[in-house]
Structure 1
């Protein structure tokens, strides 16, 4: 509902005021009245009066003088004045009244119908004037916003695409003065090689009659610079209204982000390549050491030599552990570390770790205790390899830093819901403890509790980092409490799904002498490492295999073209032509039966993507170095059965 119109009645006689108020008694008006012209001026100043009914003949100040004063003030000059008079209707008085600013006359005695009709028409006029003033104020505000906007705002004729109006922001953003671009085609402001696309886009807006559209183009400034602009467009009444924002800083930031991402991707690939090469270069000699150790055990050795072989194997396994630590950290950080759960007995896993480390505890004359509460479920879904790795790290660490007392592994069930059990693992020791100021740093890569810890006790400083990350990958959290000089307690808990005991598997054959021979099997080995060549040759000949050895992929191809073989054992990293390229060439370029020959990759690669790359290149299976003889025997047996060579 519209607000009431304010009407001021000024007459020196109270009865005249009362008569007018009676005639004008309506809900849509508010009446102010006074017998004093001076009070009338005050009322008009303090209230938004729209219409004033003014008596001409008043003793203090006549109506003409009052109206002249009202019209002389900016605040009251727009009041619609109607003179109410009983004097002559002569033209000279009418002219004088209209000259002072009145819009009409009412003559006494007042005709009720004429008075009501005239006042009603002026009320409508007053409302219209108020709306016009309001619209003008809005337009002025909009004009102020447009004029001071940081964005370019313009209107464009859709027939000619010429700019009709534009605000001053054009000068700040593009270097043109508004007068220089008015009448110019908006298309000409776009970068030269984008004008066709820009015109097409504007055409689509007009054709589809879009009330709003947003797109980005490059514009050329007065000084020939290119800037990125976001254009927000509205199409109405055959006019385009366009808001142009300079988004060059955002685009530059986006480009920097893309470059940073590309640099990070490149760094990641470089790191992965380095780690893959390092894995190969380190694992290959370790594979040779472990293989030769196994071969030496088969020869006639005395007790002293057996002890030396034990030390050699322990050293190589220790080196392999360090290599695995570094590679595991890299895999976890790269997000390429997977957890594979299967039914396993927690009691069996914990007992195996306990038995394996007990000799280390015995050597230091400390107790290694294992406590598993009766309510802990036996079989659960768990990644046995990773839980073994976690417990081995925590217990080895505890034993390393404990000189007297005990190290204890305890398992307790905290909660059970249906087939889910929350199990807590606790590793407690009475060792040297961890200072409070170093407690938060022991989980950082290559960090240890004290600066000289690695000198005194050895180690890479990666064990606890790997443990923490593995536990978090499995959905748990590792916590530690410690008192320096008194010992430490590590806790982690996780939810496990209860499982049935798996079917017993046939124990792996670990003695090479128990492995059946492959009589008359023809095997081509492509391996560039001399130690591994010797080890593989000796191992295969023990299985009565006919072996031919080459040291790169190109020579392997030549051999396959000239001689028949049943299987190929191929290293992936070789000079001249690596294993991946060789496998692809075999599958694509060689004739049958060589094209379909089984290929087993003997790779030192430890990353999943490298193993996937081997399969994608055409290899049938992958055996990671270092490996034991029975593992290679099983792989060969599987491929020959699949090929139909063995039944």
Structure 2
């Protein structure tokens, strides 16, 4: 607690000493003087709460000193107690009180009376000081409320009528203050929001909540809608409201929502486009590959065999471009997954190397492969995606190297328990990449130089896919290059060492194996593409399968009404009624045993959700286009094995 300053003014020093001795205590500070002029100076320079002033003094008496103190705004609030030895007549008391004194002490001083009176006036001085501070705070608060950009209002908790409100109501809502006083605060809200606003206030009042926040629309004087945030406080049967304009934030939120919806629609449109593109591109490729397989099973001379080889290479090349476009889209959409299984790294790498060696030999390049002996035989990795990474890196190296070396090298950087860190390096002596283009080559549809596309071709997606696949696998891809000297791509990643080797080596042999015929099998085929109809017809005839061919889902249902089938091969994208709709109709509306007839989807879908849609519609399995003949044969065999 701050001490109270007391000023003692007496022309006799001994009187001052006596008073100081009488009043001395820790919670007061005594300042004293024998000169009235000096007293004025002390009072001006210090905050004096109480002054004990002798009445009879030379030059300026006590009455005159007090009048001067009371006339100055800085010293007018000092509590004056006259100390006098003159008569106690009423005229002197009145004169003292008129001059501004609050009490008298008479000499000789009674210690008890003096101490009691000073005590009471000290308490009064403290109260006055506290009231002054509170008044200053109230004045500051009033200024703040008056100039606030928010509406600040007090509301009667029982009637919800506005008791006070600041000028911001005119700026925000267009009402004069006197227009809204004594009116219900609920009327400020838009009609649709009034019930919720009333309920919120009732909850705050009934539950005696100290604070709550809610957003509503308020209606302005000009009937415009304004979004506001109401901060509500309840105390002593009064509701205090702070109402802020949040229309800009709401507008921004609305724009964000619209942008999000537009982005989702664009994303959905893109996925639909990619799904349709996948079907439209994969379907004819499937026909070409199927026809190529059929041609291989006929008697061909050397020239015709070369033509079929070219057909196969061309269709595989086209399929690679389609897969690149779809893969980059799936990665960007976050719908791309890595599936790690037990595989033989050497066999995977050698298969890629052997496949591309003929391209290197055609260009008379020095094509080399080196795998460190410390590289484990069996590792857990996604063989399909590693194959894709190596194919892209090596194909690029061969494509951009006209003379010299292309080398694939795999080494061990570190071993830790059951983990091994490998570095896969693809180096070439090709055209190289400029330093300022190194950061661009991993962007979709970007190539190192503007004339690269014209001279070498390609989609510009290969390295973008490689980088993103490597990142998905948790690895790191770096590149160093010099114009005219070549490039080196290094891919590092940790792999888990597998205990037992598990490698699928059946595919190549199955693709050439003569496929066994079926006995007494009747199949319904739904396919709208004429080339695929022809291809499927030839395959099924070669396997002694009886079949009926239709080109839409509606005809599937019509056929099934009158015929019995062992299995249905169903394309998903067909006119009039698609495969999903037809399958669902069969599962719901047909009776046993036709309700449970096996249905295999012949889908060109590349997205997982499309394959899931086929299964959800009631289909039993999915065979993705393009497919090899042996793959279709295996699917049929798995469902007809009991036949």
Relative to the length of structure 2, the TM-score reads 0.98
The answer on 1:340 being equivalent to 2:366 is no
The answer on 1:196 being equivalent to 2:200 is no
Change (3 A) 1:349 1:289: same
Following TM superposition, by how much is the alpha carbon of 1:517 offset from its aligned partner in structure 2, in angstroms?
A: 1.4
SS of the residue aligned with 2:479?
Answer: strand
> In 2, distance between residues paired with 1:393 and 1:24?
100
Aligned partner of 2:93 in structure 1 is 94
Following TM superposition, by how much is the alpha carbon of 1:332 offset from its aligned partner in structure 2, in angstroms?
A: 0.7
Contact 1:586–1:595 (Cα < 8 Å) also in 2: yes
Query: Matched residue pairs, number?
Result: 642
Contact 2:53–2:82 (Cα < 8 Å) also in 1: yes
SS of the residue aligned with 2:427?
Answer: strand
Contact 2:511–2:628 (Cα < 8 Å) also in 1: no
Following TM superposition, by how much is the alpha carbon of 1:413 offset from its aligned partner in structure 2, in angstroms?
A: 2.4
> In 1, distance between residues paired with 2:294 and 2:624?
19
Aligned partner of 1:606 in structure 2 is 606
Contact 2:342–2:502 (Cα < 8 Å) also in 1: no
SS of the residue aligned with 2:430?
Answer: coil
Change (3 A) 1:272 1:388: same
- Tell me the alpha carbon deviations over residues 213-262 of structure 1, each in whole angstroms, 9 at most, x when there is no partner: 11111111111111111111111111111111111111111111111111
> In 2, distance between residues paired with 1:490 and 1:37?
98
> In 2, distance between residues paired with 1:506 and 1:361?
25
Aligned partner of 1:325 in structure 2 is 324
Q: Which moved more, 1:416-425 or 1:68-77?
A: 416-425
Aligned partner of 2:411 in structure 1 is 412
- Tell me the alpha carbon deviations over residues 297-326 of structure 1, each in whole angstroms, 9 at most, x when there is no partner: 111100111011101110110011001110
> In 2, distance between residues paired with 1:511 and 1:392?
21
Output aligned runs, 1:248-647, within 5 Å. 248-503=247-502, 507-508=506-507, 509-511=509-511, 514-641=514-641, 645-646=642-643
> In 2, distance between residues paired with 1:33 and 1:424?
93
State the Cα RMSD in Å: 1.3
Q: Which moved more, 1:572-581 or 1:350-359?
A: 350-359
Q: Which moved more, 1:215-224 or 1:368-377?
A: 368-377
- Tell me the alpha carbon deviations over residues 5-25 of structure 1, each in whole angstroms, 9 at most, x when there is no partner: 111111112111111110111
Following TM superposition, by how much is the alpha carbon of 1:503 offset from its aligned partner in structure 2, in angstroms?
A: 4.3
> In 2, distance between residues paired with 1:15 and 1:171?
67
Aligned partner of 2:13 in structure 1 is 14
Contact 2:344–2:502 (Cα < 8 Å) also in 1: no
Following TM superposition, by how much is the alpha carbon of 1:212 offset from its aligned partner in structure 2, in angstroms?
A: 1.0
Runs of 4+ in 1 over 6 A off after TM superposition: none
Following TM superposition, by how much is the alpha carbon of 1:124 offset from its aligned partner in structure 2, in angstroms?
A: 0.7
> In 2, distance between residues paired with 1:504 and 1:236?
77
> In 2, distance between residues paired with 1:412 and 1:152?
72
Aligned partner of 1:153 in structure 2 is 152
Q: Which moved more, 1:261-270 or 1:341-350?
A: 341-350
Contact 1:429–1:488 (Cα < 8 Å) also in 2: yes
SS of the residue aligned with 2:109?
Answer: coil
> In 1, distance between residues paired with 2:587 and 2:215?
49
Change (3 A) 1:505 1:372: closer
Q: Which moved more, 1:54-63 or 1:176-185?
A: 54-63
Following TM superposition, by how much is the alpha carbon of 1:375 offset from its aligned partner in structure 2, in angstroms?
A: 2.8
Change (3 A) 1:199 1:504: closer
Q: List alignment gaps of at least 5 residues for structure 2.
A: none
> In 2, distance between residues paired with 1:582 and 1:616?
12
Following TM superposition, by how much is the alpha carbon of 1:162 offset from its aligned partner in structure 2, in angstroms?
A: 0.4
Contact 1:345–1:501 (Cα < 8 Å) also in 2: no
> In 2, distance between residues paired with 1:539 and 1:141?
93
Following TM superposition, by how much is the alpha carbon of 1:512 offset from its aligned partner in structure 2, in angstroms?
A: 6.2
Contact 1:510–1:629 (Cα < 8 Å) also in 2: no
> In 2, distance between residues paired with 1:121 and 1:513?
117
- Tell me the alpha carbon deviations over residues 389-428 of structure 1, each in whole angstroms, 9 at most, x when there is no partner: 0111011101111122211222222233322222222211
Following TM superposition, by how much is the alpha carbon of 1:83 offset from its aligned partner in structure 2, in angstroms?
A: 1.0
> In 1, distance between residues paired with 2:446 and 2:127?
81
- Tell me the alpha carbon deviations over residues 307-357 of structure 1, each in whole angstroms, 9 at most, x when there is no partner: 111011101100110011101111111111111111122222222211211
Output aligned runs, 1:220-259, within 5 Å. 220-259=219-258
> In 2, distance between residues paired with 1:588 and 1:416?
57
Following TM superposition, by how much is the alpha carbon of 1:504 offset from its aligned partner in structure 2, in angstroms?
A: 5.7
Relative to the length of structure 1, the TM-score reads 0.97
Contact 2:164–2:181 (Cα < 8 Å) also in 1: yes
Contact 2:81–2:101 (Cα < 8 Å) also in 1: yes
> In 1, distance between residues paired with 2:425 and 2:512?
40
Contact 2:343–2:502 (Cα < 8 Å) also in 1: no
- Tell me the alpha carbon deviations over residues 406-463 of structure 1, each in whole angstroms, 9 at most, x when there is no partner: 1122222223332222222221111111011211111111111111101111111110
Change (3 A) 1:177 1:209: same
- Tell me the alpha carbon deviations over residues 572-593 of structure 1, each in whole angstroms, 9 at most, x when there is no partner: 1111111111111111112222
SS of the residue aligned with 1:441?
Answer: coil
Q: Which moved more, 1:175-184 or 1:514-523?
A: 514-523
Change (3 A) 1:142 1:305: same
Contact 1:430–1:486 (Cα < 8 Å) also in 2: yes
Following TM superposition, by how much is the alpha carbon of 1:288 offset from its aligned partner in structure 2, in angstroms?
A: 0.6
Aligned partner of 1:134 in structure 2 is 133
